Amino acid sequence: MSSTPYACAKCGEQSIVKGEIGLRTSRDLELIMVVRKDHGVEKKIPLQPRVCGKCGFVDFFVQSPENLKIVPKDKPIDSGSKDRPILEYDF
């Protein structure tokens, strides 16, 4: 990844297209999400694109990766989950 948010990771030009750019599936217009499943807990966050206006390279990132961290208050999505218990070193 480049050092500035508006520099292309491929060509290095400061030509990232600004504005609201998102990813959606063409069939149902749902956001494309990054999903983490661990300990029976499911965390989701939208995948964000960056598009270079010069070379057309598309780079992906998540806005708040800390939202994917499992915290003690998170509950498994399936109450019958057989995953190991959440321990302090999992955070």
Residue 83 counted as domain residue: no
> How many CB atoms neighbour CB 23 within 10 A?
14
Is residue 16 included in any domain, yes or no? yes
Residue 27 tokens read as: 């069939």
| Position 44 in a domain | yes
Contacts for 85 with CB less than 8 Å, ≥ 6 apart: 39
Calculate ∠ Cα 73-74-77, nearest 5°.
145
- Residue 2: give the domain boundaries: 1-66
Q: Enter the pTM of the model.
A: 0.66
Cβ atoms < 10 Å from Cβ of 85: 7
Element containing residue 21 per DSSP (H, E): none
Q: Number of folded domains in the chain?
A: 1
Q: What confidence category does residue 2 fall into, taking pLDDT thresholds of 50, 70 and 90? A: very low
38 occurs within a structural domain: yes
Residue 46 forms part of a structural domain: yes
pLDDT in tens, 53-66: 999 999 999 989 99
Q: Would 54 be classed as within a structural domain? A: yes
Question: What pLDDT is recorded for position 15?
Answer: 94
**34 belongs to a structural domain:** yes
